């Protein structure tokens, strides 16, 4: 179960830079390194509880950015 939690956290909090298939097929050492680097970035306070590391920094950032940014690779389908 922990592998799927790691994959989810990296894809969800990776800012659109990762997709599920890429992370799943990534070497284990690189996936763990990426996960912990992302965790350190989102939670610079080591005294905070690990089970809630996604709540503080992500909620704070989301409250600052009220505007949703659409990725540049999304295009509208033609209306034919």
CA distances in angstroms from 51 to 19, 35, 47, 56, 69, listed in the order given: 23, 14, 12, 11, 28
Task: Give pLDDT tens digits for 4-53.
Answer: 888 888 888 887 788 889 888 989 899 999 888 988 888 877 665 555 54
pLDDT at residue 54 is higher than 60? no
> At how many degrees (to 10) do helices 28-42 and 2-13 cross?
50
């Amino acid at each position: 179960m922990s592998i799927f939690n790691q994959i989810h956290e990296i894809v969800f909090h990776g800012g659109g830079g990762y997709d599920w298939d890429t992370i799943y097929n990534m070497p284990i050492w690189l996936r763990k390194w990426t996960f912990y680097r992302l965790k350190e970035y989102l939670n610079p306070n080591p005294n905070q509880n690990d089970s809630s590391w996604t709540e503080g920094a992500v909620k704070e950032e989301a409250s600052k950015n009220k505007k949703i940014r659409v990725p540049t690779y999304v295009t509208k389908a033609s209306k034919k």
